Structure 1
Amino acid sequence: MSNLRPGAPAARGLIDNVAAQDDELAASTSGRGTAGVRGVAAAPRRPFKRYFRETGWRHLVAIAISLFAIFPLLYVLSASLNPGGTLLTANSLFSNTSIDSYLTLFSSDRQPYGAWYINTLIIGLVTAAGTVLLGALAAYSFSRMRFTGRRFGLTTLLVVQMFPQMLAMVAIFLLMVAIGDVFPAIGLNSQIGLIMIYLGGALGVNTYLMYGFFNTVPSSIDEAAKIDGAGHARIFFTIILRLVAPILAVVGLLSFIGTSSEFVLASVILIDPEKQTLAVGLYKFISDEFSKNWSVFAAGAVLAAILPVALFLALQRYIVGGLTAGSVK
């Protein structure tokens, strides 16, 4: 009933498969196919006007913002390498380079930059750790416990932050003088006293910030731990702190940056040059009327920037991701 020989359909199917493979190979070699995906053609290239309207302008804005942010950094770095000691000769970036300013930082007896660096590191890290611990304890209490005056306490913390700590500078100075007469270790010209002032001033805003993050942690975790016999202290230190690590990293980073760059209170409380911080010590390089050395000041600023940058890189993995995701089903 048919004129086709036996096996002709199979031969015709084999020929069709070979032809299809040849077409796919030709499409892939000519750039019209998608690598690794059979039968899917690549999208045609967008015209330049459409590309600029949809995506290109965003690239230009990103480049402009990057240049705007990078230029001050390059200017300070160029000024630190400028042997002239003034900012006028640093207008042409990296025209003159020398490391004499960096060597001067650590060779001056009247201006102990190394001691300032260590003091800033100690005060900043201790203050950041204390701020995180005290703020987390207070935030956990406001978030998980119900007691009289809870709402009033939260409102008071928020209202107190409306008044900057600088307004109480005179009162703080007189208070530190009086405390120094009784306990000299925590009074005026004491780094411990300065740390205590920082801890008292930073408790309010950080507590309110952590309180909002603690509320995002499901209370079912606490209830499950209480069923297993855990108390508030064990729940806080072994469970909650791990789940709120991102906000702890943010508060610690902000506290360290704010403490290391604070000038007013540090200049009032710390008197001896060996006990001062970088913010107070670097001001001496440009405070004299006839001996302003901006090159050394810029060199000190470049080295001082290493501290917050290193801390940011160390805490970046906690800042980027939230550890509370997927903690409960």
Structure 2
Amino acid sequence: MSSSTHTPLSEIPARRPVTAGAWFRATGWRHLIGIVMVVFSVFPLLYVLSASLNPNGTLIGSNALFSRLGFDSYVALFQSSQQPYAAWFVNTLVIGLTTAVGTVLLGALAAYTFSRMRFTGRRFGLMSLLVVQIFPQLLAVVAIFLLLTTLGDIFPALGLDNQLALIMVYLGGALGVNTYLMYGFFNTVPPAIDEAAKIDGAGHARIFFTIILRLVAPILAVVGLLSFIATTNEFVIASVVLVSPEKQTLAVGLYQFVSQEFTSNWSVFAAGAVLAALPVMALFLFLQKYIVGGLTAGSVK
């Protein structure tokens, strides 16, 4: 027979009660930091939403959140003939989506070339892309203005006050950093996949469009989202290139509501900002599965 020993209950040490100080030192401070960050992030959004629903037309009157509610500012956005908000909204979507798609396609093609092909000047080209991004595109505003003025005399579609010219400027400014970002992600894809496809008779174009793009979908989603956000929020270059009110973007057009000293209407401006955030939210929710998939890829074999 096997004998078993039992520890008397009197010898089992009593569990020490958890005090508030011990809980705070262990995990409580994390909850406190999380609450502070949530408040820091959510409060500006609630303030702008409250200002858009406040018919007073001032930000000072919105200090008491949601004290007055009304949709007059949203109605006023689409009633002004001198400030065509609907046209600005459509222009922003067209320019933003076109720039995002073009940035993803051109950046992916360049990143695949640098990652998979070996040619003279490859390392110099990568370093040039990295060095060029040190200087912000804002420094080239004067050069962009003079360039588009000259091109407009030869090709009117690429001159000032043309949305196609603005899209080209955005594509040139974002191509370098996005190419370098995609290049690092393309290097994580095993070259054995390309070699197996070449044995089956596939060329570079078929490998790129049918195999590689599906494997690097997370980085494509991130680059597309960041490009769309940067394009919709850009103000300086868009204000220089686009002159006609009906061709302007939301960032430039909404500034007219608060640019005049005695006719500023912050409530209408806030309402326009709330509606302008909806496409970004919709695109983020649509691409969320690709972004999350990229973060968790490779965590489980």
Distance of 1:82 and 1:75 partners within structure 2: 10
* 1:102 alignment counterpart: 74
* 1:239 alignment counterpart: 211
* 1:120 alignment counterpart: 92
* 1:5 alignment counterpart: none
User: Quick one: which amino acid aligns to residue 199 of structure 2?
Assistant: I
Q: Percent identity?
A: 74
Shift of 1:236: 0.3
Distance of 1:252 and 1:44 partners within structure 2: 54
Work out which of the residue numbers 188, 196, 211 in structure 1 matches 2:168.
Answer: 196
* Residue-by-residue CA offset, 1:22-75 (whole Å, 9 max, x unaligned): xxxxxxxxxxxxxxxxxxxxx998554443322222111111110111000010
Aligned CA distance change for structure 1 residues 44 and 213 (closer, same or farther; 3 Å):
farther
Structure 1: give runs of 5+ residues left out of the alignment. 1-42
Shift of 1:226: 0.5
* Residue-by-residue CA offset, 1:220-249 (whole Å, 9 max, x unaligned): 100110111100000000000000000000
Q: 3-state DSSP class of the match of 1:96?
A: coil
Work out which of the residue numbers 95, 101, 113 in structure 2 matches 1:141.
Answer: 113
Q: 3-state DSSP class of the match of 1:321?
A: helix
Paired residues of 1:243 and 1:323 also in contact (CA < 8 A): no
Aligned pairs for 1:29-44 (under 5 A) are none
User: Quick one: which amino acid aligns to residue 213 of structure 1?
Assistant: F
Aligned pairs for 1:8-157 (under 5 A) are 47-157=19-129
User: Quick one: which amino acid aligns to residue 285 of structure 1?
Assistant: F
Bigger relative contact order, structure 1 or 2 (CA pairs below 8 A, ≥6 apart): 2
TM value normalised by structure 2:
0.91
Q: How many residues were matched structurally?
A: 285
* 2:186 alignment counterpart: 214
* 1:274 alignment counterpart: 246
Distance of 2:18 and 2:199 partners within structure 1: 61
Shift of 1:110: 0.3
Q: 3-state DSSP class of the match of 1:84?
A: coil
Q: 3-state DSSP class of the match of 2:93?
A: helix
Distance of 1:45 and 1:70 partners within structure 2: 36
* Residue-by-residue CA offset, 1:237-292 (whole Å, 9 max, x unaligned): 00000000000000000000000010011001101111000000000000112100
* 2:277 alignment counterpart: 305
Distance of 2:235 and 2:284 partners within structure 1: 22
Aligned CA distance change for structure 1 residues 212 and 290 (closer, same or farther; 3 Å):
same
**Is 1:315 matched up with 2:287?**
yes
Structure 2: give runs of 5+ residues left out of the alignment. 1-14
Paired residues of 1:244 and 1:324 also in contact (CA < 8 A): no
TM value normalised by structure 1:
0.84
Distance of 1:298 and 1:324 partners within structure 2: 37
Aligned CA distance change for structure 1 residues 45 and 149 (closer, same or farther; 3 Å):
farther
* 1:292 alignment counterpart: 264
Shift of 1:90: 0.9
Which structure is larger by alpha-carbon Rg, 1 or 2?
1
* 1:31 alignment counterpart: none
Aligned CA distance change for structure 1 residues 324 and 298 (closer, same or farther; 3 Å):
closer
